[in-house]
């Protein structure tokens, strides 16, 4: 009975921790929000020093969603391609090795990606920005005259590279679980390999793909250090991808925490609470999809 009680307590710790995260963030956030002299949800700038602190999360929430959405847009097609390559195209022994390499990509710490993006990847993105501005400058998103470099584009591309392995490994698992009967039936009816994938593999894996994309989204929303190093940290809401700009809730916390006073820390905790709620909703949605699917598949999707 003692052992059982200990195990139950340990299991319940997960629920306790999640509840505690919510409680403590709220407790520490409320005093700061009460001192805020402007609307916390609609104000764009972040001035926490002085007698009349003014701060709001509008720009950071917009930036968080914009960067994450761009990163997903860039990485999901590539990730699904890699997953199909590993599950259906490459030779099995080759696929195992290559899958291992993709898993290693997932193990590289985010600060290393951030440093790489800021010190090295910066240059090709600057060139790309110039080219995009020259050729497609009439589009508002590419309208900026520079200086190019630390921008929404750089941050989203680095973020896309970082979430690639997550989406890849999950959707590969799902693709590998397609019943061979479905695939063989498609092939026996004379379909080409691509038609087989389109008619049997992709429909079967739809829920799994959605779940993996949402998990990638969850990771993208919460990514901190890589974006703190590669975004321009400008509090503004606009659709300029190339110029100095871009900020997210997490990168703002990382950049401002060092110099923050009491109110400043409370304000950052309050913005962290918003991030926690957003990621919680995204993750619960993803897990709900996976769970509903598991009931009739019975696999480890």
Partner 1 sequence: MAVETPVRLGVTDARQLRAKSLPTWAPWAAVVAAVAVSSVLIKLTGAGGWVLTGVVAAILFVAFMGIAASVVEGTRSARNRMASVLIYGAFILALLPLLSVVWTLLSKGSKRLDVNFFQTSMNNIGAFDEKGGAYHAIIGTLEQAGIATLITVPLGVLGAIYIVEYGRGFLANAIRFFVDVMTGIPSIVAGLFVLSFWVFTVTPLWNNGKAAYSGFAAALSLSVLMLPTVVRSTEEMLRLVPGALREGSYALGVPKWKTITRIVLPTALPGIVTGVMLAVARAAGETAPVLLVAGGLSSINFNVFSGNQSSLSLFIFEQAGVASEFAPGRAWTAALTLVVLVLVLTVAAKLLARRNKLAR
Q: Using CB under 8 A, which residues numbered 229 to 258 contact partner 1?
A: 229, 250, 253-254, 257
CA separation for the pair 276, 22 (Å, rounded): 8
**By C-beta, is 7 or 139 nearer to partner 1?**
7
Binding to partner 1 (CB under 8 A): which residues in 5-24? Answer: 6-15, 17-18, 20-21, 24
* Three-state DSSP state, 207: helix
Query: Does 192 participate in binding partner 1 (rule CB under 8 A)?
Result: yes
Query: Does 301 participate in binding partner 1 (rule CB under 8 A)?
Result: no
Query: Does 282 participate in binding partner 1 (rule CB under 8 A)?
Result: yes
In angstroms, what is the minimal distance from the CB of 47 to partner 1?
20
Query: Does 141 participate in binding partner 1 (rule CB under 8 A)?
Result: no
**By C-beta, is 109 or 140 nearer to partner 1?**
109
Closest Cα to residue 165, out of 82, 95, 222? 82
Query: Does 136 participate in binding partner 1 (rule CB under 8 A)?
Result: no
CA separation for the pair 279, 70 (Å, rounded): 17
CA separation for the pair 44, 57 (Å, rounded): 6
Site map (CB under 8 A) of partner 1, residues 35-74, x = contact: ----------------------------------------
In angstroms, what is the minimal distance from the CB of 113 to partner 1?
7
CA separation for the pair 210, 39 (Å, rounded): 35
**By C-beta, is 197 or 240 nearer to partner 1?**
197
Residue from 42, 91, 93, 107 binding partner 1 (CB under 8 A): 107
Binding to partner 1 (CB under 8 A): which residues in 194-213? Answer: 194-195, 197
CA separation for the pair 42, 62 (Å, rounded): 11
**CA quadruple 97, 100, 102, 104: dihedral positive or negative?**
negative
Query: Does 4 participate in binding partner 1 (rule CB under 8 A)?
Result: yes
**CA quadruple 190, 194, 199, 205: dihedral positive or negative?**
positive
3-state DSSP helix/strand/coil % of the chain, to nearest 5: 75, 0, 20
Residues 6 or more apart in contact with residue 106 via CB below 8 angstroms: 165, 166, 169
In angstroms, what is the minimal distance from the CB of 294 to partner 1?
11
> What is the CA angle 202-205-206, rounded to 5?
85
In angstroms, what is the minimal distance from the CB of 188 to partner 1?
16
Residue from 50, 101, 138, 298 binding partner 1 (CB under 8 A): 101
Query: Does 118 participate in binding partner 1 (rule CB under 8 A)?
Result: yes
The footprint of partner 1 on this chain (CB under 8 A) covers a number of residues equal to 94
Query: Does 161 participate in binding partner 1 (rule CB under 8 A)?
Result: yes
Given a contact cutoff of 8 angstroms between Cβ atoms, the answer to whether 157 and 121 are in contact is: yes
Given a contact cutoff of 8 angstroms between Cβ atoms, the answer to whether 279 and 200 are in contact is: no
Query: Does 188 participate in binding partner 1 (rule CB under 8 A)?
Result: no
CA separation for the pair 50, 48 (Å, rounded): 7
């Amino acid at each position: 009975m003692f052992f059982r009680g200990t195990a139950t307590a340990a299991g319940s710790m997960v629920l306790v921790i999640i509840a505690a995260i919510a409680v403590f963030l709220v407790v520490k956030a409320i005093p700061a929000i009460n001192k805020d002299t402007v609307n916390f949800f609609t104000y764009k700038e972040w001035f926490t020093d002085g007698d009349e602190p003014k701060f709001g999360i509008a720009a950071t929430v917009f930036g968080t969603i914009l960067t994450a959405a761009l990163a997903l847009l860039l990485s999901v097609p590539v990730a699904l391609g890699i997953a199909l390559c590993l599950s259906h195209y490459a030779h099995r022994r080759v696929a195992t090795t290559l899958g291992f390499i993709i898993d290693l990509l997932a193990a590289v710490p985010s600060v290393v990606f951030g440093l790489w993006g800021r010190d090295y990847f910066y240059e090709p993105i600057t060139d790309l920005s110039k080219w995009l501005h020259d050729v497609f400058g009439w589009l508002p998103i590419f309208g900026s005259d520079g200086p190019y470099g630390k921008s929404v584009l750089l941050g989203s591309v680095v973020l896309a590279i970082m979430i690639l392995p997550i989406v890849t490994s999950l959707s590969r698992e799902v693709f590998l679980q397609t019943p061979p009967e479905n695939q063989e039936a498609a092939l026996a009816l004379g379909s080409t390999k691509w038609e087989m994938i389109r008619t049997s593999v992709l429909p079967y894996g739809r829920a799994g793909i959605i779940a993996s994309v949402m998990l990638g989204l969850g990771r993208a929303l919460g990514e901190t250090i890589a974006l703190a190093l590669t975004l321009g940290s400008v509090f503004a809401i606009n659709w300029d991808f190339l110029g100095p700009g871009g900020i997210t809730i997490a990168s703002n916390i990382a950049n401002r925490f060092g110099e923050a006073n009491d109110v400043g820390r409370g304000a950052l905790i309050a913005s962290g609470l918003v991030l926690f709620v957003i990621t919680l909703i995204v993750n619960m949605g993803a897990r709900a999809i996976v769970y509903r699917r598991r009931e009739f598949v019975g696999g480890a999707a």
